Amino acid sequence: MFDAPPDLAELDPDELEQALARLGAAPFHGRQIYRWVYRRGLERFDGMTDLSRPLRETLGRTLSFSTPRIAAREHSGDGTQKFVFGLADGRSVESVFIPDTPGMTFCVSTQVGCAMRCGFCLTGKMGLARHLTAGEIAGQVRVLARELHLQHRRFNIVLMGMGEPLHNYEATMKALRMLAAPSGLALTPRRVTLSTVGLVAGLERLAGEPWIPNLAVSLHATTDEARHALIPTSRTLRLADLVTACRRFPLKHRGRITFEYVLLDGVNDTAADAARLGGLLRGLRAKVNLIPLNAAPGIPFARPSDRQVDRFARSLAARGMTVSVRKSRGRDIRAACGQLILEGGPRRSHAQQAAALLDG
């Protein structure tokens, strides 16, 4: 059996230079190729006209090149767009484009499904089908940038689609390195937000990275009992330990950790919850992003009234917290936060998804 050729989509800049060196090509050709792939959206070697014809022919023989395929694209009345991506093995994931937020924002997936089993999220009901590769994560961004003509404009990325990024740590961080390459899309850490349910071991690894994105931690409860009921996989972790890990997390000048908090009617939206949340986060450089539940069939919770959401937000603000209430985007195309699920099994391409931007 012959080994499969290396996939260009899975190579970071150093790996691409090594692959080129084995072909007798100079390292600077790696930068040229990255520009073609990421800034111009080209997916074939014969169009890379600043490479010699012999090199292009050699690359075509010795490297493969995979790209997620757009299986469906829907437009919301508020400008949000939802993309269903078909993968090489027949599985699907979704990404969402959220314009005017005030920047342009891509919400991308890191896994097919999710193993965290949050009780208010349809994605968690899927379970985990598999991790995405680094090329599949970065590939969503490549295709979105090309389709939306944003390759030469600034945009933001939120890792808030299907999956828990820190559960797929190696591929997620490699994808970010690929997207940050100066010869590619040159994304900076301040334009990327990683959303996690709070895997402490992953947070500790992330804290030691040379390239650290913005951090958003999904809290969703103010007592261990309530959080363990809402997020079954959190049962081995105390809230106090998670908050301690957040206090140790390195922040840049004027940086903050965002704490995401899905508001569930009569479950975690009481005055006592607001008081406990303010106490848990006291002294942290933090912002609380309140997310009124996007109700959906199969979710056994209800959305609080706007009055109750406002009361909760004002209670936190009175305790000195910076608070925002996330506006749900794309609800008419099932592209609002927590609504993603691949119906009928992982090989069906039509889904109900996705996620909205972290304000600020």
The dihedrals phi and psi of 19, each to the nearest 5 degrees, come to -65, -40
- Residue 140 pLDDT level (bands cut at 50, 70, 90): very high
DSSP assignments along 288-341, one per residue: EEEEE----TT----PPPHHHHHHHHHHHHHTT-EEEEPPP--GGGT-STT---
Has residue 244 got a pLDDT over 60?
yes
Give the three-class secondary structure for 105: strand
Q: How far is CA 179 from CA 93, 141, 184, 185, in A?
A: 19, 8, 7, 6
The answer to whether 10 and 134 have CB atoms below 8 angstroms apart is: yes
- In this predicted model, what pLDDT tens digit does every residue of 269-328 receive, in sequence order? 999 999 999 999 999 999 999 999 988 888 899 999 999 999 999 999 999 999 999 876
The answer to whether 47 and 68 have CB atoms below 8 angstroms apart is: no
Confidence at residue 1, expressed as pLDDT on a 0 to 100 scale: 44
Radius of gyration of the chain (CA): 21
Assign a CATH topology to domain 69-333.
Answer: TIM Barrel (3.20.20)
246 is catalytic: no
Confidence at residue 337, expressed as pLDDT on a 0 to 100 scale: 54
The answer to whether 138 and 178 have CB atoms below 8 angstroms apart is: yes
Neighbours of 32 (CB within 10 A): 16
- In this predicted model, what pLDDT tens digit does every residue of 73-118 receive, in sequence order? 999 988 999 999 999 999 999 999 999 766 899 999 999 999 999 9
The dihedrals phi and psi of 279, each to the nearest 5 degrees, come to -70, -40
Strands 156-159 and 192-196: parallel
- Residue 345 pLDDT level (bands cut at 50, 70, 90): very low
147 is catalytic: no
- Choosing from 17, 74, 94, 136, the catalytic residue is 94
Confidence at residue 355, expressed as pLDDT on a 0 to 100 scale: 34
CATH for 8-62 is: 1.10.150.530
- Residue 334 pLDDT level (bands cut at 50, 70, 90): low
- In this predicted model, what pLDDT tens digit does every residue of 191-210 receive, in sequence order? 999 999 999 999 999 999 99
Which ranges in the chain are annotated with CATH 1.10.150.530?
Answer: 8-62
Confidence at residue 262, expressed as pLDDT on a 0 to 100 scale: 96
Which ranges in the chain are annotated with CATH 3.20.20.70?
Answer: 69-333
CB-based contacts of 122, cutoff 8 Å, min separation 6: 296, 298, 299, 338, 339, 340, 341, 352
- Choosing from 114, 118, 121, 337, the catalytic residue is 337
pTM of full prediction above 0.75: yes
